[in-house]
Structure 1
């Protein structure tokens, strides 16, 4: 009777496990077993039969196809990257949850730095009873935003005068999902997607850095009590080029349980991750999985992340569709890998170039001209401001030069051509054909990348109808 009872239970499990293709076959077979009369079985025979049924259906029925494994891996990697960043951030001296880190202004020591804003960041951590209060100073006549991201990399909200016209400054209270905790009467209540969130706030420098810094320091964050804070989920260390192999699935359950995913296909994808994680426990499947991940899945994803995760035109990759990803977890994981905390397109769109008009890698040995017609200059397609920065590759660091000029932007005093067009020279030294004010220095003999940022882009940019022109190599 034990065997007959298990057969019925296993038949139900076959269906609940979602093995759609073999459902009828499995159910019919299990029903036959259930209808068997009890028979006397010796222990070895009973153990053998039970082993057949105890073999998880996902391991027994499904081959390891590259598409299924890739989708499960990429989905799980997106959350793992955010967890890795949480470990990195909290490990820094004097950094803690609900404490603002005021990044130094104008420092070029970071990878792919943003030299246009005063930056501040913090990890927000709440519980059901404890809100966290953010105070934003009154800011006029300059771009600013307090971007709040969830634990998967999606943007929850941007707090600024465009999204909160009645409350562009003042107090904002973050609460846990479904929390009924009281917040100050003069605070705007904002419900998070889980018990943690990342804040990245920016204040435009313009031409008065001291004023921007003063505003930066007026952002305040504090918990209204003592929230219970779970530590960052343990995961193995990994780099952006040396991504995890099959061992990523060993951590699937705690990683997926650590934060709610608002994606409409989260349940389906998490079921797929659990299926692969189950197969990874079997030695035979584990070795095959690891080989597939390291030789196919990871290289394919890395290639996708830098060439296909946005819109490619004029040899520029535009970050259209970032910030709120919906069902596109491939784009979300790609954005998390190459530019974690990407904002929504209403706030900013990035364009990244690593090749010239001929499709050749950009190199500091050559001279290039970036020429914008008068009607489509970057200042004409933004309601905020724009900038372009040069960094070397593969280090993504700014290039030292005698002018300490690492980027150009709306306030750089650029000179226009008589017809109103804008020409920018990217080269190791000035060229008489372009005004020196428009020269962006490169490193002789070294590859480089350009990133053009458009803040509060107009609809023409958000539709993908505007792209920077290709960089044209010119005679030196």
Structure 2
């Protein structure tokens, strides 16, 4: 190391560079994801992908052996849309869902949920909203509610309640009622464009996460600086922006990585490697641990200046909900602290009146150690309040979690497990206050002989 680099200076550069990596990771991940999933000619060409300003609808649950998406949701069908507001506002229309639960959270490019259209917030009647960029001051049609987006690009990650495969047709009608219309086309017979030009230089096959994780620290800073030209930081980010100036990174200004000396570049790249390596462990330590469940309700969906938390949530899976909309406790161990394994049999016992308190509905989904659904003879990947569960005579409820059938008389309450390690997730939609303040928690997995 050059003699001018004291240990103190190197440590300071390393600390700022690591924080910068956490800060940049969600924004760069969102941009990489947006570029890939919108790089298609039309909404029907590739599942879960659509051109900008168009919805892509997931029409069915994955098959047992499908490994395209980790920790897939078996309670709702997704509707995705990436919006570009740089030219004009986009009108969002939603249908009357006839009381059916739905959720259309909108995320800015920093992954913060800035508003939610859906059952909890706007009800289930039909409605129209104008999504406008910050600073836009044009005229909207009379009676239209404006939604101001913090960044000109945003992501709608919609979910519509689905009560099993027999409910698909009903859900598809709701999905088809989600409409996006440019303001200039409002009131006209608008059809979303097809044969949209695509960019052949974009890698459409390698997952965005893998692509982002391969970027070195200096490249991340370069991407960060480029993206901040279009997507302004949050107002409370000024302390980290001040620290980033030492590397020449400032919002709205070009960044020249060549201005950095070799020693600084080496430290920045080492800090980035270490920062990425820290994220999985940080994710597992976050949240409250009760009865073997990891319950995350604090700083989720919006993160303030908790940049490391925002980064590990982006690594785990973009699109985290606000806790008021959904909470996803995940279990890794049983009530005695031992890792969950299909080599054992377990019971989840809910006392009378203590089933998951959700205003909409709840479920428990089984995943193997890699986050995929588990093939089983009854083709059941989740169990929940929408099922015809059998309660005990005293009003309590037992869910049987094991690899083999507990017997025909108990299969209504059976959540099949793999033969090896597993990591199930509970989902509570529109959770009640006792979930959010942790006065209620799921019961432990009790191993039975």
Distance 1:225 1:472 in 2: 59
Give, in angstroms, the shift of residue 75 of structure 1.
1.1
Choose from 68, 76, 100 the match for 1:117: 76
Q: Which residue of 2 aligns with 1:96?
A: 51
Instruction: Determine which structure has more spread, i.e. the larger CA radius of gyration.
Output: 1
- How many residues align structurally? 407
Pairs within 5 Å for 1:437-476: 437-444=412-419, 446-475=420-449
User: In structure 2, do the counterparts of structure 1 residues 274 and 85 end up closer, same or farther at CA, with 3 Å as the change threshold?
Assistant: farther
Return the match for 1:252 from 212, 218, 224: 224
Secondary structure, counterpart of 2:314 in structure 1? helix
Bigger RCO (CA 8 Å, 6+ sep)? 2
Q: How does 1:220-369 map to 2 (within 5 A)?
A: 220-225=179-184, 239=210, 242=213, 244-247=215-218, 248-262=220-234, 264=236, 266-276=237-247, 281-294=260-273, 296-308=274-286, 310-321=287-298, 322-369=300-347
Partner-residue secondary structure (3-state), 1:435:
helix
Aligned equivalents of 1:417, 1:339: Cα separation in 2: 37
Distance in 2 (CA, whole Å) between partners of 1:69 and 1:177 is 30
Matches of 1:353 and 1:263, distance apart in 2: 36
After superposition, the C-alpha distances for 1:263-307 in whole angstroms (9 at most, x for unaligned) are: 52x12212323435679922122223333432x332222210232
- After superposing on structure 2, the runs of 4+ consecutive aligned residues of structure 1 that deviate more than 4 Å are 58-61, 234-238, 240-243, 276-280
Does residue 76 in structure 1 map to residue 24 in structure 2? yes
**Distance apart, 1:433 and its partner CA:** 11
1:137 corresponds in structure 2 to 95
Distance 2:22 2:117 in 1: 30
* TM-score when normalising by structure 1: 0.78
Following superposition, the deviation at residue 93 of structure 1 comes to 5.5
Equivalent residue, structure 2, for 1:387: 363
Q: Give the Å deviation of 1:157.
A: 1.0
Aligned to 1:205: 162
Q: Is the 8 A contact 1:82 1:153 kept in 2?
A: yes
State whether residues 120 and 325 of structure 2, in contact with CA within 8 Å, keep that contact through their aligned partners in structure 1.
Answer: no
Task: Give CA-to-partner distance per residue, 1:327-385, whole Å, 9 cap, x none.
Answer: 2222222222113111111111110112222323222222222222223211xx11110
Change (3 A) 1:392 1:122: same
Query: 1:407 pairs with 382, 390, 399, which one?
Result: 382
Name the SS for the 1:91 alignment partner. coil
Shift of residue 151 of structure 1? 0.7
The match for 1:63 is 10
Query: 5+ unaligned residues in a row in structure 2: which ranges?
Result: 43-49, 186-197, 250-256
Q: 1:191 aligns with which of 148, 160, 166?
A: 148
* Deviation by residue 1:223-255 (Cα, 9 ceiling, x = unmatched): 2249xxxx99x9996529955432322333113
So what's the TM-score if we normalise by structure 2?
0.82
RMSD between superposed Cα atoms in Å: 3.1
> 1:136-155 to 2 correspondence within 5 Å?
136-155=94-113
Q: Unpaired runs of 5+ in structure 1?
A: 1-54
- Kept after mapping to 1: 8 A contact 2:89/2:183: yes
